[in-house]
Amino acid sequence: MAPRKIIIDTDPGQDDAVAILLALASPELQVLGITTVAGNVPRPLTSRNARVVCELARRTDVPVFVGCDRPMARALVTAEHVHGKTGLDGADLPDPVMPLQTTHAVDFLIDTLRREPPGSVTVCTLGPLTNLATALARAPDIAPRIAEVVAMGGAYFEVGNITPAAEFNIYVDPEAAAAVLAAGIPLTMIPLDVTHKALTTRARIEGFRALGTPVGHAVAGWTDFFERFDMAKYGSEGAPLHDPLVIAWLLAPGLFTGRHVNVEIETEGRFTLGMTVADWWHVSGRTPNAMFVGGVDAGGFYTLLTERLARL
């Protein structure tokens, strides 16, 4: 079977970096390109970090495209308090030498989705949805050509991680998230409800380190750094490794459970801006528009992740 074609839209971020590595280590997936967006850190750093990860994986053949530097209608909110000043704090890696592509990420999305056969490209969003929403606004004809959008974002039972009501990726650009959800594209959401069930543990982090490779040491360092904030915040024994679950969903959907429900994004609330309103109990009467993932076999996920990272 031919590999599944994907585009990774991302704002690296340690967990984004691990997700990219998982995709690059998986022959079931063909990464057509990586598009960067401002989010966890500003755009210059997300574009740098995506190339750092490609070079770490020895995959300089994967093109990296620079995308939007701010949300569609708001000032940018970043998360250096979680990810450190570089976004990839925790591993000492050299600056990249591979070039950035000259085409803007939004143009790459439009051109690729028009060029590839309809239904053959999956868009994996690991950060704010600004690039994809902008592409859909400029070229609505690409919506029916997308096989699926798999988005790390949102929260329902777990509420928010950047405000009491909102998850970070949705909060940064709620208008973009609302536009993507309204576009009629098959969509799977990987919210905090599932990522908080896939915590790092000391044994899992040491499993990465025990690979004895540059990738293993980098991932161990990133997860060591990343978890310090969430362990203090939540009082948990580890931290949720959010974004790699997007790639794991493509590789092993049997590890997950969820429901096809209606999901809307609050764009006006005084206290609830960016809230993911997931109709888990089907009480609104609104038409379901997303698979909202709620459960995961955490052990199976970490086994898959460690085995794949060992290949790089």
Residues labelled catalytic: 242
CA-based torsion, 250, 246, 253, 292: positive or negative: negative
Other CB atoms within 10 A of residue 231 CB:
15
Cβ pair 122, 149 in contact under 8 A: yes
Q: Which residues contact 157 (CB under 8 A, 6 or more apart)?
A: 193, 280, 294
Tokens of 306: 């460690």
Q: Which residues contact 63 (CB under 8 A, 6 or more apart)?
A: 33, 34, 101, 108
CB burial class (10 A; 0-12, 13-18, 19+) of residue 133? buried
Cβ pair 261, 303 in contact under 8 A: no
CB burial class (10 A; 0-12, 13-18, 19+) of residue 214? middle
Strand partners, 292: 189, 259
